[in-house]
Amino acid sequence: MAGQAPQANVASADEAVRARGLDLLKSSVDLAHELEADQLNGVVYALFGDHQEPFSAERIAESARLVGQAADYAAQAGIRMTFEVVNRYETSMLNTAAQAIDYVRQSGSDNLFVHLDSYHMGIEEADIPGAIRSALPVLGYLELGQSGRGSLLTGSVDIRAAVQAAKEAGYTGRFGLEAFTRQLLVTGGANALAIWRQTYSDPHAVAAEAVDIIRSVYAEQ
């Protein structure tokens, strides 16, 4: 997973800080290559948590250009690069699939793909299945997360409908599961993610739920 730092940020108004942001992404690619990874995900386009005001079109375009360069660098190492679309409380740059698709276009890279997460989509998208279908063919990673951050079977997000939309759109890429419960996180991480309670007790059961949903949907004729 890659990200940005206060003094290394491709979305900064400061050219030197932007340059260091690109260098940070390239170093993340180098580490991923060393680990023999073939895909690199993360909030790579801006500093995570920067949501105080909207980003200008100029800042978004410059961020896309630099991330596109990082994605091209990753391609040389055989690594696919994606970026996660998160909700308005975690960034003010990219919150929807439509914004992400345009960001890919602005990047100019054919090795930059979209990472959608149903938890964030439940906050930002009016039509989650439609948003997933619209993201093909640049959808590179689909993460399943429920509204309460726990079991996929309990919450306001229709996880099965999200997987069904991916299948109908011809998605054959990777799925991920993201579920958090306070007792399994370090205190700092739990606080940063606003995980205040125990959302599940058996992580293996939560993982099995995700596997069962994906397999059953893709097995349907």
CATH label of the domain that carries residue 67 = 3.20.20.150
Stated pTM of the model: 0.96
Q: Is residue 193 part of a domain?
A: yes
Give the residue numbers annotated as catalytic, written as ranges. Answer: 84, 178
Residue 7 has a pLDDT of 98
Q: Is residue 107 part of a domain?
A: yes
pLDDT in tens, the chain (221 residues): 999 999 999 999 999 999 999 999 999 999 999 999 999 999 999 999 999 999 999 999 999 999 999 999 999 999 999 999 999 999 999 999 999 999 999 999 999 999 999 999 999 999 999 999 999 999 999 999 999 999 999 999 999 999 999 999 999 999 999 999 999 999 999 999 999 999 999 999 999 999 999 999 999 97
Q: Could you write out the DSSP letters of every residue in the chain?
A: -B--BTTB-TT-SSHHHHHHHHHHHHHHHHHHHHTT-SEE-B--SS-TTB-SSPPPHHHHHHHHHHHHHHHHHHHHTT-EEEEE---TTTBSS--SHHHHHHHHHHHT-SSEEEEEEHHHHHHH-S-HHHHHHHHTTSEEEEEE--TTSS-TTSSSS-HHHHHHHHHHTT--SEEEE----GGGS-HHHHHHTT--S---S-HHHHHHHHHHHHHHHHH--
Q: Is residue 9 part of a domain?
A: no
Q: Is residue 10 part of a domain?
A: no
* Residue among 80, 128, 78, 88 at smallest CA distance from 104: 80
Q: Return all residues near 90 (Cβ < 8 A) that are at least 6 apart.
A: 43, 48, 49, 51, 120
Domain that holds residue 113: 15-219
Tally the domains of the chain.
1
Q: Is residue 7 part of a domain?
A: no
Q: Is residue 31 part of a domain?
A: yes
